[in-house]
Structure 1
Amino acid sequence: MTNQRIRTNSNGSELIRARFALRLSEIGFIRNGDWFVLRLSSDLRGLVSFNFAAHREDHLLGVCPIVSLEFCSIAKKLNELTDNPLSKVQPSLSCGLGYLMPEGRWLEWLFNPASADVDENDHIAQICEAIHTYGLPFFADNRSVDTPIENLIHHRFSFKDRASFHLPLAYSLRFQWSSALDLVRNTQSEMLGRTDEAAKSFRSFAQRFIDEISIIDL
């Protein structure tokens, strides 16, 4: 399946998303902007998105499916503490679909936005079948809040900057207040002297988080 050539006729990534919307709806996904959402429980959403590589020398459009998990209680609290719109999608865990497949590596499929002489529906169906076969078990294997804690600690299916926001909130959902506070304070220390936007955003989040936790009788 690596680097399969798929041709489409116009509108590039938006046309591709529209075609995926139809196929993914057959297995329960609903499109929400650039995301495709599968409600797994009252607090858990499985997500599919697509990374696009448009600036290729061969003028093809590379497409890589990404599967993610969003814990709604974590996302809601994170948006509250970072002044984001409450509707902003905030996945805790993400993985390129290829890493979940037998190939075990980054995979992309190639679309040709300039051509209309090949019907790509079969290829779209193959990708959606891979999402069904490998993405849905990823959701099932990581749906407990305890599993994301372990993943976030070791930066599996995540990365350090994301984990610095999500892990304290995951701890707090398990009433592990001391672990949450220790992590936030350690991250604050690690970021001393940093002036980038990620560090500024974390400092604002951390102060609000500490202020909120401080009223709890630990």
Structure 2
Amino acid sequence: MTKTNNVEHALPLLAKIGFRKRAGDVFTLDLAPGVLGWLGLNRATQRRGPGEVEINPVVGVRFQDVERLVAECRGEKYHAYQPPTISSPLGYLMPEKRYMAWVFAPGRSEAVAGDMANAIATHGVAFMRSVVDLVELRRRLEDRFGFEHQLAYRRPAAALVAGDARQARALLDEALESIGARTDLAAADFRRFAASLRRRLPPHATS
């Protein structure tokens, strides 16, 4: 079975849920103005049988205003749907709360696609729809839904978008303190981001 065939079995099912296919194996779902549900189908073929592909769905939510601010402060080009602001492997949102994957193999891909799409609709979309406002987004950012090196940028950005400049400043201070005297590229990148974001804070929040 080819890579394309694996995805094609799921395409009409995901479209029925409301997902729009983007580049690669990324899909988005309109949740609210400026808020997208995000789905990525991560695949693996190592240690699988002939023609088998293991797919681990990752679901998330993307707040466009937050991502636009992060991109601007990092000096990067804004992307319309990458990356999600928060994310989680689908399995950890299911009752099992563990890694879950769906193995597509010749002769049973349609059934596997149906089971995977049902899990996405039941658990993934429910998660997405639970995070459509900045209050809930900020809570999920604190709960570490995603990779910490990405969340560190988004916590203060989300606070500022929400109008909480004082908390944005506090979150920047906390992140910079955790970096300490590091001189690696990641640390330098965050310091540049922090300096840019600070310039956007009102005077009373920067003193």
TM-score range, shorter chain: 0.7 to 0.9
Matched, 1:62 2:54: yes
Which stretch of the first structure deviates more once superposed, 48-57 or 172-181? Answer: 48-57
Matching of residues 64-83 of structure 1 within 5 Å: 64-83=56-75
Question: What SS does the corresponding residue of 1:208 show, helix, strand or coil?
Answer: helix
| Match 1:107 to one of 100, 121, 136 | 100
Deviation at 1:217, TM superposition (A): 5.2
**Normalised TM-score (structure 1):** 0.84
| Match 2:133 to one of 137, 140, 144 | 144
Deviation at 1:33, TM superposition (A): 0.9
After superposition, the Cα gap between the structure-2 partners of 1:38 and 1:189, relative to the gap in structure 1 and judged at 3 Å, is: same
Matched, 1:160 2:143: no
Paired residue type of 2:29: L
Paired residue type of 1:50: L
Question: What SS does the corresponding residue of 2:100 show, helix, strand or coil?
Answer: coil
Contact 2:104 2:112 in 1 (8 A): no
Report the identity percentage: 24
Question: What SS does the corresponding residue of 1:213 show, helix, strand or coil?
Answer: coil
Report the RMSD for the aligned CA atoms in angstroms. 2.0
- CA separation in 1, counterparts of 2:127 and 2:69? 24
Question: Which residue of structure 2 aligns with residue 53 of structure 1?
Answer: 44
After superposition, the Cα gap between the structure-2 partners of 1:86 and 1:64, relative to the gap in structure 1 and judged at 3 Å, is: same
After superposition, the Cα gap between the structure-2 partners of 1:100 and 1:178, relative to the gap in structure 1 and judged at 3 Å, is: same
Contact 1:21 1:36 in 2 (8 A): no
Question: Which residue of structure 2 aligns with residue 184 of structure 1?
Answer: 172
Q: Deviations over 1:33-88 (max 9, x none)?
A: 13100011111100110122232264643211111000111011111122332125
Q: Structure 1 unaligned runs (5+)?
A: 1-8
- CA separation in 1, counterparts of 2:32 and 2:95? 28
Deviation at 1:189, TM superposition (A): 2.3
Structure 1 outlier segments of 4+, above 3 Å: 57-60
- CA separation in 2, counterparts of 1:105 and 1:78? 30
Paired residue type of 2:115: Q
Matched, 1:33 2:26: no
Of Structure 1 and Structure 2, the greater helix share is in: 2
Contact 1:151 1:158 in 2 (8 A): no
- CA separation in 2, counterparts of 1:62 and 1:32? 20
Bigger RCO (CA 8 Å, 6+ sep): 1
Q: How many residues align?
A: 202
- CA separation in 2, counterparts of 1:20 and 1:196? 42
Q: Deviations over 1:160-183 (max 9, x none)?
A: 222210110111122111110121
Question: Which residue of structure 2 aligns with residue 44 of structure 1?
Answer: 35
Paired residue type of 1:71: F
Contact 1:66 1:96 in 2 (8 A): yes
Matching of residues 86-125 of structure 1 within 5 Å: 86-87=78-79, 89-112=82-105, 116=106, 118-125=107-114
